[in-house]
Amino acid sequence: MTTPSWPTDLPVLPLRHTMLFPAMILPLFLSDPGEKAALAEAEKTGRYVFLAACCAQDGLCGLNDDPEMIRDGAVGCIALILKNTALEDGRHKILVQGIAKARVLHVTAQSPGIRVRVDPLVEADLPFEEDLVPLVARVRRMGLKLFTLRGMHAADAEAVLQSASSPGRLADLLAFNLHLDPHECCHLMAIADPGERLERVAEALAGELQKAEVQLEIESEAQNALLRRQRERYLREQLKAIRRELGEWDEDKEEHAYREKIEAAGMSPEAYREAMRELERLTMMQSDAAEASIVRTYLDWLTEMPWQRTTVDRLDLAEAARVLDADHHDMEAVKERILDFLGVCRLKGGLKGSILCLVGPPGVGKTSLGRSIAKAMGRRFVRVSLGGIRDEAEIRGHRRTYLGALPGRIIQGLRNAGTKNPVFMLDEIDKIGSDARGDPAAALLEVLDPEQNRAFSDHYLNVAFDLSQVLFIATANSLETVPPALADRMEVLHLSGYTDREKMIIAKSYLLPRQLQEHGLRLGDVALSEAALMEIVHRYTRESGVRQLERALGTLCRKAARKAAEGIPLPLRITRNCLERYLGPPQQDLVSREVPIIPGMALALAWTPHGGEVLRIEAAVMPGKGTVVLTGHLGTVMKESAQAAISFIRTRADRLGVPADFHEKADIHIHVPAGAVPKDGPSAGMALCAALVSAVLKRPIRECCAMTGEISLLGDVLPVGGFREKALAAARFGVASVLMPQANTADAAQLPKYITRSVAFVPMGHMDQVLARLFDVKGE
């Protein structure tokens, strides 16, 4: 082994961001006093220096963050200074070439610069071994690909790689060009086995290739996109030049068109200023700029809004009454309210918009009534379904900063209507949801407040729009889910379900003629007998509205249309006996219409969003230990009513002739059939108490009657709501009498006379009166 030509004690130069390998050349800039001192010392040692990496990873690196601390055993590179140039700013630029790897033995001097004694790590320059040939070929292919991806000519890259005559030299060449951090470089230099070092370099080279390929792909896509935009812009400019030569192009044409629209729109001063400001922005943009299309869309919305366009109200009260009567049967309260509104408009010459809320079961005509109101008043009709919306932006709109922003449904509906005073229906207002995106019901507070909606601000338009002339009509099945603050802003009109007689009138006058027209038939093509129609109402449609009834009539019309298509002469005569052939078997009653002659059974009337219902309440008393079981999917209120009924019965044990401790020696089970349907509400206390008394006495209720009314712990019968729907359910069911709270007598007086003639409504003020009537139990 030959003696090295460099001194054993060398000055140290720190490298902070890279590391030099043998046979590689690296330029360095020196500005630190310690570095300049090491450079001066190198002039005394034949211009040789020891390059050590600065990092705090482990002992293989020569220096940590403190350049005064050098580690024994650290690995670095002995380098020769090829060139030293003093710069004007006081720095030195040197060019160094790696000579050999070396390991620090110990520090020999700290001043004027750090000097260390090194032990060279001489590596034999052996030719490629046979077992390394596949690895060397693979590494060279990857190195060639990396160099070409970085822009080097393929022939030059091949020449550089072929100059590495041994596996160690090839590994050092590629490691130096991978720009690894000093910590990884020190680990590679410390590996004595050239094959192992080349394998480690191959792994790092594979990762660098992946990054280079991704970077190249990104740059290629960006370049293609830039070229595509430049090409499109060039073609547009050419098209402009051609059209300009033909006299078809006016650069100010778009600006003039928008300016004319803005002047003709009749905007408010605030909206006019905003529109002109946006127009000025548009004129300063490139026509193909992305933001230009956003500004154009905004200006289109502003100019197409009905700022001043209105329809003239039809103030002929007789004609309005005729239109309402022609489209809907009954509904006198709503018709009177609309005619009152038109009467005030006729006297005053105008009136701010009102907010009505039609509440009633499905199928009673709430939505169609809104159309009829618009027709009677001569206004445009707009309908927006609010069921299921959860985003406040559906009402107030999105801010223009969002991609794909649009105004809310209120502004969209007004633009579609084309006037600022339409009849605007907010359908299913009781089915609005809320989540993290906001509460749409809270946003409606501004829309439905007559004192605020004259300056309604949509987030997209960002200017005030006057909604005070809009007649808002909301619909709901129930007000229970409507926030109280929102309900307080609306005039609530309750629409009750229809009686069987009213359904027959509606079917003959409205539904059947409409279905005949929709199915291409003429009046008289379907001959439906009175008995058949009554059977359809009674047995095939059990509802408060008329949707199922209209579907049944539509089925009959389809049967007639099919016979006409088959060449069978019409009319199709439908009698009661042939209904099952056309409509199938009738619906089964959930509650038997038979008189409740079994002890422990009573009938209760319940209100639901779909109308009135008749519920069967069953009670059973059996020997036990005083357990009370409540089944049938009962809500909290009904469970509390059952507990109150039990307590009341205990206070009347002497009059009922039962032991005072009967509840301690018996188990009580209360059940309401159809358990899959949730049941709750403060109106079943009377029926629950009656069923329990019947079970305790083992005596059935004396008459076929239904009951509605809540009871207090002392036995007072409390008033209930939804009385009309409950009365209609009792009439459909065919009960002889209804025991009701005495406080609901006024509600019973408003029922149609043919209902009060068929059903006896008996007011009850206290539960003692109920027990006396049903079980002949004498009170005090």
Contact 336, 517 (CB under 8 A): no
Pairwise CA distance, residues 67 & 116, whole Å: 13
Dihedrals phi, psi of 340, to nearest 5 degrees: -60, -40
Pairwise CA distance, residues 71 & 106, whole Å: 8
Residue that the structure tokens 């169609």 belong to: 368
Find the length of the chain.
780
Contact 709, 718 (CB under 8 A): yes
> Any catalytic annotation for residue 385?
no
264 φψ region: left (φ > 0), alpha (ψ -120 to 50), beta (else): alpha
| DSSP symbols for 164-191 | --SHHHHHHHHHHHTT--HHHHHHHHH-
- Which residue out of 268, 683, 698, 712 is catalytically annotated? 683
Pairwise CA distance, residues 309 & 38, whole Å: 88
Q: How far is CA 730 from the centre of its chain?
A: 42
- 134 burial type by CB count under 10 A (0-12 exposed, 13-18 middle, 19+ buried): exposed
3-class DSSP assignment, residue 609 = coil
What would the 3-class secondary structure string for 208-243 be? HHHHHHHHHHHHHHHHHHHHHHHHHHHHHHHHHHHH
- What are the tokens at 510? 């409205």
- What are the tokens at 634? 């009962």
Pairwise CA distance, residues 143 & 127, whole Å: 19
3-class DSSP assignment, residue 134 = helix
> Any catalytic annotation for residue 5?
no
Sort strands 705-707 and 601-608 into parallel, antiparallel or unpaired.
parallel
- What are the tokens at 490? 């609306």
Pairwise CA distance, residues 608 & 626, whole Å: 33
- Which residue out of 726, 737, 753, 758 is catalytically annotated? 726
What is the C-alpha end-to-end distance of the chain, expressed in Å? 130
Contact 473, 353 (CB under 8 A): no
- 755-759 long-range Cβ contacts below 8 angstroms, 24+ apart: 755/499, 755/727, 755/728, 755/731, 758/731, 759/727, 759/730, 759/731, 759/735
What would the 3-class secondary structure string for 705-753 be? EEECCEECCCCEEECCCCHHHHHHHHHHHCCCEEEEEHHHHHHHHCCCH
Contact 490, 356 (CB under 8 A): yes
User: C-alpha angle with apex 631: 630 to 635, nearest 5 degrees?
Assistant: 80
Pairwise CA distance, residues 136 & 131, whole Å: 10
Contact 328, 365 (CB under 8 A): yes
Pairwise CA distance, residues 102 & 120, whole Å: 4
Pairwise CA distance, residues 668 & 622, whole Å: 7
Taking alpha carbons only, the member of 768, 760, 758, 713 closest to residue 740 is 760
Residues forming a β-bridge with 54: 63
Would you please indicate which residues are annotated as catalytic (active-site) residues? 683, 726
